Amino acid sequence: MQNFVFYNPTKLVFGKNTVEKIGEYLKKDNVKKVLLLAGGGSIKKNGVYEKVVRSLVENGVEKVEVWGVRPNPVLSKVKEAISVAKNENVDAILAVGGGSVIDSAKAVAAGVKYKGDVWDFYSGKAKVKEAMPLYTILTLSATGTEMNGNSVVTNEETLEKFSFSSIHVYPKVSVVDPEVQYTLPQNQLVNGAVDAISHVMEYYFDGEEVSLTDRIDEGIIKTIIQTTEVLLDDPKNYDARANFALSTTLALNGVSGLGHKGGDWSSHAIEHALSALNPNVAHGAGLAVVFPAWMKYVYNQVPERFAQFGENIFGLKNCKPEEAINALSQWYKKIGAPTTLKELGFKEEDIEKLTEIASKMAPMGKLKKLERDDIKKILEIAY
């Protein structure tokens, strides 16, 4: 087990009828005016927007709005929101939406306090030293961004999809009401499940074995598998929805990596190339393709680890690593996730471009250091 420091400053407000409480938390923190950042408008259809506005008004909090954050969020929208936040002299950022909205809001919170280009945080030219207070209302459980300091954004001009992490952009308060997710399309549920499972696996397969964290991680993954199957048949099953939502939060709030080496993250880096080249590829869908391909390429590093995964997650007795990987892929197929690059619309000739984009992050990985040739071979397996 590695040494570690665990610190998570986010207050998680979880459960039914919690969206209406956001104004109270803002007022308590003496926030007078917020920038409300949102996506394409689904929060107006499911009633969340109305509840948020009413809560703000009742607590004397003014707002200015920026809409249009898209899945696989882009730098240009972040810069637009930073400009609005500065011009309107807001006191805080309020993100209402899924992972893309919250990731963008983190960039805005940091960018408002920075005199340079916010992309500097993603390219590694600068570190976040301060940020505006950030509050979130989660409407799609998947990324865990509601309770961590990570942000991923695409620079559409350079086709670079990079991330940064900072303690300064942890949300102060995150509201998660599972009921507002009842009407999510099934593909978003599936993508969220794959995304969260992938977060846990990045730690599980980073080359460090921590028996207690293993049991936690296996429990998270098994809960996501179980609740996903229930929700595909019964989207309004509250207990399943709540357990799914909590699992996706715990998958990336620090708990799932206790005592590990920080996670492998090469599968995520390779997937970022997919959605950078084609923004229509959902992050979870890309991970459903890339992660099993990565597993096939690296399992010989710790074959017993992959066998343990198959035995404890899927109940496979005397499991071989290949059987564990196949069981994961078969479950992805069962819930309707893609498992090949072809299914995502990529052509064989795209592999070279995808390799070029992903290799900007090379060398990558903890379990096995991946160079350009390794990345290309994994993409060829995924095809």
Domain map (residue ranges) of the chain: 11-180, 185-382
pLDDT of residue 172: 98
The 8-class DSSP code of residue 318 comes to T
What pTM was estimated for this model as a whole? 0.96
9-21 burial, b at 16+ Cβ within 10 Å, e below that, comes to ebebbeeeebbeb
User: What separation in angstroms does the CA of 62 have from each of 17, 21, 81, 88?
Assistant: 22, 15, 16, 11
Task: Check residue 350 and give its pLDDT.
Answer: 97
Residue-level pLDDT at 191:
97
Residue 120 CA to residue 238 CA, distance in Å, equals 42
Q: How far apart are CA 90 and CA 115, in angstroms?
A: 17
How much of the chain, in percent, has pLDDT values that exceed 70? 100
Q: In this predicted structure, what is the pLDDT of residue 273?
A: 95
Q: Residue 171: which pLDDT band, with cuts at 50, 70 and 90? A: very high
Answer yes or no: are the C-beta atoms of 283 and 144 closer than 8 Å: no
For every residue of 127-178, DSSP letters joined together read: -------EEEEESS-SS-GGGSSEEEEEETTTTEEEEEE-GGGS-SEEEE-G
pLDDT of residue 354: 97
Q: What is the pLDDT of residues 259-313, one digit of tens each?
A: 999 999 999 999 999 999 999 999 999 999 999 999 999 999 999 999 999 999 9
> Residue type at 138?
L
Could you report the per-residue pLDDT of 183-237, keeping only the tens digit for each? 999 999 999 999 999 999 999 999 999 999 999 999 999 999 999 999 999 999 9
Arithmetic mean of pLDDT over the chain: 97
Q: Can you tell me the mean pLDDT for 134-153?
A: 97
- What tokens were used for 25? 């938390």
Q: Is the CATH number of domain 185-382 1.20.1090.10?
A: yes
Which two tokens mark 270? 């390779």
CB atoms within 10 A of CB 231: 23
CATH topology assigned to domain 11-180: Rossmann fold (3.40.50)
184: its two tokens: 């999510």
